[in-house]
Amino acid sequence: MSSDISNSSHKPDGGSAQPKAPPMDKPKFWNDPKKRSLLFQVLLLSALGFVFYTIIDNTLTNLEQRGITTGFDFLTSEAGFGIAMSLIDYTEASSYGMTFLVGLLNTILIAAMGVFAATILGFILGVARLSDNWLISKFATFYIEIFRNIPLLLQIFFWYFAVLRTLPHPRQSIEFFGSFINNRGFIFPAPVAEDGFGLVAFGFVAALVGSWLISRWSAKRQERTGQQFPVFLTSIGLIVGVPLILFLLSGMPMGLEHPELKGFNFRGGITVIPELIALWLALSIYTAAFIAETVRAGILAVSHGQTEAASALGLSKGKTLRLIVIPQAMRVVIPPLTSQYLNLTKNSSLATAIGYPDLVNVFAGTTLNQTGQAIEVIAMTMAVYLTLSLLTSFFMNWYNARIQLTER
Amino acid sequence: MKKTLISAATLMVAMTGTAMAGTLETVKERGAVQCGVTSGVPGFSVPDDKGNWKGLDVDLCRAVAAAVLGDASKVKFVPLNAKERFTALVSGEIDVLSRVTTWTQTRDTQLGINFAGVNYYDGQGFLVKNELGLKSVKELDGATVCVQSGTTTELNMADYFRAEGISYTPVVFDTNDQAAQAFDSGRCDSFTTDLSQAAGLRTRMQDPSAVGALPEVISKEPLGPVVRQGDDTWFNIVKWSHNAMLNAEELGITSANVDKMKAESTNPNVKRLIGLDGPKGKGMDLADDWAYQIVKQVGNYGEAYERNVGKGSPLGLDRGLNALWNQGGLQYAPPMR
């Protein structure tokens, strides 16, 4: 577009061969739009560079003047405080850098769990709200209106205290199948892999690959012959069956570490702390309400003619929804769904209110306060949320581009 | 969220040049001292049912206002949690931090702040439910402990348990109040904090008599007011406001008798404190009667202690280490001369 315009301005007479192309026809460089815009861009860039340089220089000078230590050296010194839950080995003797990792992993864990649960719940509710069944659609409406209109922080508090208050002390734990529920969390036996378990894991991976190959083969065959193959059932059978058979054949190479009540609390096993449960419930229930509305909007955006055409072909209602409506709705759903995932990830930082050790609580909270390195710590924390958000949106954009209508 | 705002504020301030020098001028221009306090620890800083802040730390803020502005009521209180406090001070959001803050080397030397004295000598202890029948912190092996994040308490506990080889699970909350509530509702077996604050927070629990402190005191916690580094005049004002309250108690000057003393006393020490003689307000750019205003409007250290945390309060704490030096305690102020 712009090149067309500039071209035409260069050659007002369509480039007809003038024997004497007068050199004065060539505009002065400040009248040449291309050069002028280049000049302005260079000016703007240097101005921006100067502003940033001033900001950084000022910051460093001022920090030095006030005797505030700067730099990232603190990351290697010993943290000296404990953290309630960590996915990697962490002790008080670990470094501040480790507290960053612990917090980061805990944030990723709650975000992943939240996204998973909120997506499933949100899709079910979104479809349910459009259901012909009066009860189901009214229930979904009710749910959505309640949960998206109450502030998330209140919901987190509600779940935390609702969960905590009803649970008994460790000594009066509710017990079932070797697992325990009490106000220190949900404690269940930890699986311990023994010799030969690698074979089972290998079988699992092989079954995954197998399923993928079968689905590709079946899609090709259907395109060629129109015949269908029960891909879903076969895959389930493979993924569950193969590892199970291998597991039994190799003599069940898996022990369980049972939790035992010793002194104040249970030792051994895996403990899911109540903070995690409460935060997970609140985040997924809250975000699901928004996702449900997104899904509803997406479904409504699909022309009703599609449904009519599908029923004219004799497709069942379920198949119409699964094969015709939802795939087309997804094109509308994905971009706002991405926003919801980003919101959920960022909202997980409210964890700090109930003591779930996420990145903000552990790193931007305790570590910041113990070291006083506000600028470094906040910058690192912001960088993490930025990276997580960019990754999520990159993945979702890629997925979105993949499922767009392919025009032939 | 507030924390993020304050951190952002630090960044802004750090970025946009100095202009932070004259805290005294800023305070006089504003007509109020901005004082960072806790979001509610009974005895130290807590708003009463009419919204008036009360407590030992609050009285220090009022003393500074009385000295600087001649009116102890000209204080704007800013409730802060432990994580926000230093950033709020360094960024200039507050002029004084008077918030049960322990004086440590890291804080004094690396955060750009100065400690202006010790208004309470404290130590860290552990609260447990009496029904557990515990006799010592050493029996807490395997226990879950509620604690406030970003405190020396959190570090002392980790050090102590590591040294003793005791395993524990910390559950960390933003404010001491939340930590105390979680302990009260059974999330934790124990709640650890400075003993004075534990005494205050205990009064808010469902059944205070069912909760007791274990005998061990595992740390030294000298608590005191804090100011920004680099403003010596303001540093001196806060330091000497505290010293004036201690000296007043030592000389027997109270809010009740200060006027009589002013009219009658011939004791040169009293005359100097009241501002009739001696250095008066020189060197601090204060009115000559600055210390008189403190004693008249706020009272001496002993008065503040008794009404907030001592026998005259629900906390009922002994003077202990906080008695004056000549009565077996540690509170000792340099002379005013």
Measured between alpha carbons, how far is A232 from B337 in angstroms, rounded to an integer? 90
Instruction: Please indicate whether, in this complex, the C-beta atoms of A265 and B110 are within 8 angstroms of each other.
Output: no
CB-side neighbour CA atoms (13 Å) of B200: 22
Predicted local distance difference test score (pLDDT) of residue A35: 85
Q: Which residue type is seen at A190?
A: A
Which of B191, B55, B107 has the alpha carbon at shortest distance from A68? Answer: B107
Measured between alpha carbons, how far is A108 from B198 in angstroms, rounded to an integer? 35
> What pLDDT, in 10s, does the model give residues B310-336?
998 988 899 999 999 999 999 999 999
CB-side neighbour CA atoms (13 Å) of B297: 24
Give the residue carrying structure tokens 């900001």.
Answer: A55
Predicted local distance difference test score (pLDDT) of residue A4: 47
Q: Write the DSSP string, B11-28.
A: HHHHHS------HHHHHH
> What pLDDT, in 10s, does the model give residues A275-328?
999 999 999 999 999 999 999 999 999 998 998 999 999 988 888 888 889 888
Residue B189: list chain A partners with CB under 8 A. 264-265
* Token digits of residue A73: 């050296």
Predicted local distance difference test score (pLDDT) of residue B124: 94
**What is the mean predicted confidence (pLDDT) over A214-241?**
86
Measured between alpha carbons, how far is A325 from A307 in angstroms, rounded to an integer? 7
Select the more confidently predicted residue: B4 or B63: B63
Instruction: Supply the DSSP symbol for A27.
Output: P
Cβ neighbours around A327 below 10 Å, total: 13
CB-side neighbour CA atoms (13 Å) of A188: 5
Strands (E) across A3-150 are located at: none
H or E element: which one contains A66? none
Measured between alpha carbons, how far is B118 from B220 in angstroms, rounded to an integer? 12
pLDDT at A394 over 70: yes
> What pLDDT, in 10s, does the model give residues B88-124?
999 899 999 999 999 999 899 888 899 999 999 999 9
Tell me the pTM. Answer: 0.77
Instruction: Please indicate whether, in this complex, the C-beta atoms of A267 and B142 are within 8 angstroms of each other.
Output: yes
Where do the H-state alpha helices sit in A193-321?
A: 197-225, 231-249, 274-300, 304-312, 317-319
H or E element: which one contains A227? none
Instruction: Supply the DSSP symbol for B332.
Output: -
Predicted local distance difference test score (pLDDT) of residue B10: 53
| Apex A181 CA angle, A150 and A282, nearest 5 | 15
Measured between alpha carbons, how far is A184 from A264 in angstroms, rounded to an integer? 10
Answer whether B176's CB lies under 8 Å from A395's CB. no
B141 touches chain A (CB under 8 A): yes
Among A277, A279, A369, the residue to mutate for chain B (most B Cβ within 10 A): A369
Instruction: Please indicate whether, in this complex, the C-beta atoms of A66 and B90 are within 8 angstroms of each other.
Output: yes
pLDDT at A398 over 50: yes
Instruction: Supply the DSSP symbol for A24.
Output: G
Computed from CA positions of residues B126, B128, B134, B140, in that sequence, does the dihedral angle turn out positive or negative? negative
Give the residue carrying structure tokens 């649970």.
Answer: A167
**What is the mean predicted confidence (pLDDT) over A126-153?**
93
A187 touches chain B (CB under 8 A): no
Which of B101, B102, B47, B100 has the alpha carbon at shortest distance from B76? Answer: B47
Burial A70-91, CB ≥16 within 10 A → b, else e:
beeebbeeebbbbbbbbeeebe
Answer whether B3's CB lies under 8 Å from B83's CB. yes
Sheet holding B190-194, edge to edge: B168-173, B143-148, B190-194, B124-129, B211-213
Architecture of domain B123-220: 3-Layer(aba) Sandwich (3.40)
**What is the mean predicted confidence (pLDDT) over A131-158?**
93
Q: Which of A92-106, A215-229, A304-318, B16-30 has the lowest mean pLDDT?
A: B16-30
Taking the C-alpha atoms of B303, B305, B310 and B314 in order, what is their torsion angle to the nearest 10 degrees?
Answer: 100
Closest-CA residue of B relative to A165 is B185
Residue A374: list chain B partners with CB under 8 A. 7, 10-11, 87, 90
**Cβ-count burial of B183 within 10 angstroms (0-12 exposed, 13-18 middle, 19+ buried)?**
buried
Q: Give, in order, the Cα–Cα distances in Å from A360 to each of A209, A248, A356, A385.
A: 38, 44, 10, 10
Predicted local distance difference test score (pLDDT) of residue A25: 66
Closest-CA residue of B relative to A362 is B149
Select the more confidently predicted residue: B82 or A289: A289
H or E element: which one contains B218? none
Measured between alpha carbons, how far is B46 from B199 in angstroms, rounded to an integer? 14
Percent pLDDT > 70 in chain B is: 94
**What is the mean predicted confidence (pLDDT) over B280-291?**
93
Answer whether B99's CB lies under 8 Å from B57's CB. yes
Return the bridge partners of A78, or none: A95
Measured between alpha carbons, how far is B234 from B23 in angstroms, rounded to an integer? 6
Answer whether B29's CB lies under 8 Å from B69's CB. no
**Cβ-count burial of A104 within 10 angstroms (0-12 exposed, 13-18 middle, 19+ buried)?**
buried
Answer whether B222's CB lies under 8 Å from B122's CB. yes
Measured between alpha carbons, how far is A271 from A181 in angstroms, rounded to an integer? 10
Computed from CA positions of residues A158, A160, A163, A168, in that sequence, does the dihedral angle turn out positive or negative? negative
> Which B residues 91-120 touch A at CB under 8 Å?
106-107, 109-112
What is the Cα A79 distance to its own chain's centre? 29
| Apex B228 CA angle, B227 and B231, nearest 5 | 100
Predicted local distance difference test score (pLDDT) of residue A15: 47
Predicted local distance difference test score (pLDDT) of residue A20: 55
Instruction: Please indicate whether, in this complex, the C-beta atoms of A353 and B170 are within 8 angstroms of each other.
Output: no
**What is the mean predicted confidence (pLDDT) over B36-53?**
92
Q: How confident is the model at residue B1 (pLDDT cuts 50, 70, 90)?
A: very low
Measured between alpha carbons, how far is A340 from A115 in angstroms, rounded to an integer? 9
A95 touches chain B (CB under 8 A): no
**What is the mean predicted confidence (pLDDT) over A192-216?**
85
Predicted local distance difference test score (pLDDT) of residue A180: 86
Predicted local distance difference test score (pLDDT) of residue A14: 47
Q: Which of A56-65, A335-344, A354-363 has the lowest mean pLDDT?
A: A56-65
* Token digits of residue A54: 């001033």
> What pLDDT, in 10s, does the model give residues A24-82?
667 777 778 888 888 899 999 999 999 999 998 888 888 777 777 778 888 998 888 88
Measured between alpha carbons, how far is A106 from B76 in angstroms, rounded to an integer? 38
> Which B residues 179-208 touch A at CB under 8 Å?
182, 185-187, 189
Predicted local distance difference test score (pLDDT) of residue A9: 46
Q: Which residue type is seen at B307?
A: R
- Residue A275 phi, psi dihedral angles, 5° rounding: -60, -40
> What pLDDT, in 10s, does the model give residues A248-272?
887 777 777 788 777 777 777 888 8
Answer whether A106's CB lies under 8 Å from A359's CB. yes
Q: Which of A19-33, A130-144, B46-60 has the lowest mean pLDDT?
A: A19-33
Q: How confident is the model at residue A106 (pLDDT cuts 50, 70, 90)?
A: very high
Predicted local distance difference test score (pLDDT) of residue B15: 47
Mean pLDDT of chain B: 90
Pairing status of strand B226-228 against strand B190-194: unpaired
Instruction: Please indicate whether, in this complex, the C-beta atoms of A68 and B111 are within 8 angstroms of each other.
Output: yes
Measured between alpha carbons, how far is A188 from A178 in angstroms, rounded to an integer? 7
Q: How confident is the model at residue B36 (pLDDT cuts 50, 70, 90)?
A: very high
Q: How far apart are the first and last CA of chain A?
A: 26
Predicted local distance difference test score (pLDDT) of residue A64: 79
Mean pLDDT of chain A: 85
Which of A103, A123, A99 has the alpha carbon at shortest distance from A111? Answer: A103
Measured between alpha carbons, how far is A39 from B253 in angstroms, rounded to an integer? 75
Taking the C-alpha atoms of B72, B75, B81 and B82 in order, what is their torsion angle to the nearest 10 degrees?
Answer: -60
Predicted local distance difference test score (pLDDT) of residue B18: 44
Of A63, A183, A366, the CB nearest to B14: A63
Predicted local distance difference test score (pLDDT) of residue A109: 95
Instruction: Please indicate whether, in this complex, the C-beta atoms of A368 and B150 are within 8 angstroms of each other.
Output: yes
> What pLDDT, in 10s, does the model give residues B149-188?
878 888 899 999 989 998 888 998 888 888 998 899 888 9
Instruction: Supply the DSSP symbol for A102.
Output: H
B18 touches chain A (CB under 8 A): yes
Q: Write the DSSP string, A327-366.
A: HHHHHHHHHHHHHHHHHHHHHGGGGGGTT---HHHIIIII
